Structure 1
Amino acid sequence: MLKLDSISLVQFKNYAQASFTFNDRVTGIAGKNGVGKTNLLDAIYYCCFTKSYFARSDGQNVLRGTGGFRIEAHFTLSGEPFKVVCILRETGKKEFLLNDEPYEKFAHHIGKLPCVIIAPDDTQLITDGSEERRRFLDALLSQLDAVYLQHLIDYNRVLQQRNGFLKSLAEKRGPDTSLLEVYDEQLARYGSYVYEKRKHFLREFIPLVQKFYRQIAGVDEQLDIVYESQLLQYNFPDLFFRFREKDLFLQRTNGGIHKDDLDIQLQQQSFKGIASQGQRKSLLFALKLAEFEALKSAKGFAPLLLLDDVFEKLDEERMHNLLSQVCVENEGQLFITDTHEERIRRHFGQLIGTYQVICL
């Protein structure tokens, strides 16, 4: 089992200095809005992913008026202790250490301490554009496969270079496009692995999502999820050939894995077009629980599960179905925040024997 035993924060978000010890498998974090419940979950997420779930830059996580932060966490995995330290210096330099050994590449840490988080704004995964769904899929597969993560990093690097080159061509007369062929070859090399991994993984992942959706929603609605990729119809050389003129005109790359998406339908209609708020929440939790199950199956132990403010988002029946799944059937460590301590205790008291509540 993976367990977070303790965490200490210095100058992280609203915490000047604080330490927390976690004694039970299930921990509730209660307090009014603005006291730091979500920030504590984000600090745990930092230790697993080397970055914030909520902020794009590390500097946004520094306590106002200070110059850096420090997070130290102690984990146990199958009886073996792990010490994780993340430091953001006043210079803006970030350091990440495992058992006091610094990482040369932060990407090497991804997947060692798997984690799944569910937060209020995650409904963007369903309602927003394809980028959100790719980000979700990439975060999951990166925890499962270090080669996938490296190929994705390399693909995005070359994609940025290719787009920059396309912009530079617009300023030249009679441009030489031979360098595009070099970029095309590199994109095909890195992108092919990512595409094949996504396609293979989703064959088993999609039925998991459908199963959890039925359990949480409590009804047997027809939910269809289809992987959409240009590569299902064309190979990379054909894609680049078909989009060459459009790429030159728009000065960006229009064909590749960065256009992939998941088409989600309910009763054979666009899900985000007809789904109620409750149905959207049910699908969000189904996606996240399927992520949890996929990580658990691949790793041989359950990832950490972080639930932020979920009580406000579901009706009583859906909430009970969700908590039954994550508290009773889940063997991993769970952290859940809420503004009402008594609500945490009422739900936990109905489902499990022992739990811990931290009041902020």
Structure 2
Amino acid sequence: MELSTQIGPALSRQPKRLSVQQLDSFAAGRLSCSPMLFFRAISLLQFKNYTNRAFEFNEAVTGICGNNGQGKTNLLDALHYLCFTKSYFSRTDGHAVQEGQKGFRIEGRVSLNEKQEKAVCVLRETGKKEFSVNDQPYDKFSHHIGRYPCVIIAPDDAVLVTGGSEERRKFIDSLLSQADATYLQHLISYTKILQQRNSLLKSFAETGQRNFALLDVLDEQLLKPGQYIFEKRKDFLISFLPAVRHTYHEIAQQPEDLRLVYESQLLENNLAECLQASRQKDLYAARTTAGPHRDELEISLGAQPFKQIASQGQRKSLLFALKLTEMDVLKEEKGFPPLLLLDDVFEKLDESRISNLLQRVCRDNAGQVFITDTNEERLKKHLDDLAIAHQIITLR
């Protein structure tokens, strides 16, 4: 069963917005005050290629320039740590530790709604990670998600368009988790119970012994978080998918038959019915084959799969459309623009597309933006041409 961009009316939201005067001031490049979320400084100790380094940020737009290998992406990743308590580029925290060392420390000074905060992430030599805001440690890191909303666009994000369904689910989950703390908690619960159910099914296959009473208990525990996840995704995508399509057409500047379709087993039956109907299949496969973890966002151009026929330019345009729409959603939900991190996004873009992208994310957007580029002169020229107040950090 599928949910296309054509089904249902847009969600009726009551977004919280900046005043017209603030937006006009930002758009005109006359920054009379900082964005409502503003990273003022960051210090790095034994983090990736940084032994002990500090940076201060005094403009809403910061360019980070230098040759490859100087640490441009690493600086963005440190900012990502302060927003999500984890790396965007590494699966484990250990990969973020400087070679030869056994831990790291990241400290940021942040202005949030005109209040000053100190966010600190520490990885101890023991491998234990700690995260605190204003010296108050979190007992659960998930409670921090959404405090500093953030959108990042990086070269490897192409997998969002060309990869499997898991990549697109992760994208939607990350967006909704920043906007809705309840969604994140249900997602954590669902993932944990799903792992337990899959382990049980695997043990059935390995031992030949089947405890159906325990399987029934796990099925029952999956229902509440699983159904919440599905309902939230369904309602959200009714308005999100048409917005992505609209933004894609703005970027492409020509009509294209882009189709975005949400597919889920739960559009036809509830989760309890899906689990019951798939039980024999689950026993044979030794894993759970039904549920929101199997949802997909299908993308096509006309009747053809997008990733098979789309050009590099079309793929990049769709990636930008997804991320820029994510930025707009978070701005509505939070009442202020998220932090935007752009890592080497100008590759294979012509000068006009670079200018259009900077116009959208730096002038039309009222938030703080960090941009990495190997070509400092190019970046500075584009920002100057658009009359965007900016700061350039040159790494050597």
**Higher mean Cα deviation, 214-223 or 245-254?**
214-223
**1:340 aligned to 357, 371, 375, which one?**
375
CA-CA distance at 1:174 after TM superposition = 5.4
Taking only the aligned residue pairs, the percentage that are identical comes to 60
TM-score (norm 1): 0.98
Aligned to 2:172: 137
Quick one: distance in 2 between partners of 1:317 and 1:245?
56
Task: Kindly state the Cα deviation for residue 5 of structure 1 after the two structures are TM-superposed.
Answer: 0.3
Structure 2 residue ranges without an equivalent (≥5): 1-35
Q: TM-score, normalised by structure 2?
A: 0.89
1:176 to 182, 195, 211: 211
> What is the Cα deviation at residue 314 of structure 1?
2.0
Task: Report the alpha carbon displacement of residue 212 of structure 1 after superposing the two structures with TM.
Answer: 1.4
Partner of residue 88 from structure 1, selected from 110, 123, 129 = 123
1:149-298 correspondence runs (5 A): 149-173=184-208, 175-298=210-333
Q: Could you tell me whether the CA contact under 8 Å between 2:363 and 2:388 is conserved in 1? A: no
- The CA deviation string for residues 52-85 of structure 1, in whole angstroms up to 9 with x for no partner, is 0000000100000001000000111221111100
* Separation in 2, partners of 1:68, 1:287: 35
Q: Which moved more, 1:64-73 or 1:175-184?
A: 175-184
Aligned to 1:350: 385
| Residue number among 87, 94, 98 corresponding to 1:63 in the alignment | 98
Q: Which amino acid aligns with 2:332?
A: S
Measure, in 1, the Cα distance between the counterparts of 2:386 and 2:209: 71
Secondary structure (helix, strand or coil) at the match of 2:278 reads helix
Aligned to 1:18: 53
Q: Paired residues, what number?
A: 360
Report deviation, 1:208: 1.6
Task: Give the Cα–Cα distance (whole angstroms) in 2 for the partners of residues 27 and 135 of structure 1.
Answer: 28
**CA distance in structure 2 between the aligned counterparts of 1:134 and 1:73, rounded to whole angstroms:** 30
Cα distance, 1:118 vs. partner? 0.1
Q: Which residues of structure 1 form unaligned runs of 5+?
A: none
**2:169 maps to amino acid:** R
**Residue 318 of structure 1 pairs with residue 353 of structure 2:** yes
| Superposed displacement of residue 354, structure 1 | 1.5
Q: Does the Cα contact within 8 Å between 2:251 and 2:321 map onto a contact in 1?
A: yes
Question: Looking at both structures, which has the greater relative contact order when contacts are Cα pairs under 8 Å and sequence separation is at least 6?
Answer: 2
Distance 2:317 2:69 in 1: 26
- Give yes or no for contact 1:111–1:142 (8 Å, CA) kept in 2: yes
Amino acid aligned to 2:261: V
> Which piece of structure 1 moves more, 212-221 or 331-340?
212-221
Offset of 1:175 from its aligned partner?
Answer: 2.3
Contact 1:123/1:280 (8 A) holds in 2? yes
Mapped to 2, the partners of 1:145 and 1:118 lie a distance apart of 21
Aligned counterpart, 2:76? 41
The AA in structure 2 aligned to 1:80 is K
Q: Is contact 1:282–1:318 with CA below 8 Å preserved after alignment?
A: no
> What stretches of structure 1 move > 3 A for 4+ residues in a row?
171-174
The 3-state SS of whatever aligns with 2:261 is strand
Query: Which amino acid is the alignment partner of residue 133 of structure 2?
Result: L
* Conserved 8 A contact 1:327-1:352: no
Tell me the distance in 1 between the aligned counterparts of 2:291 and 2:351: 43
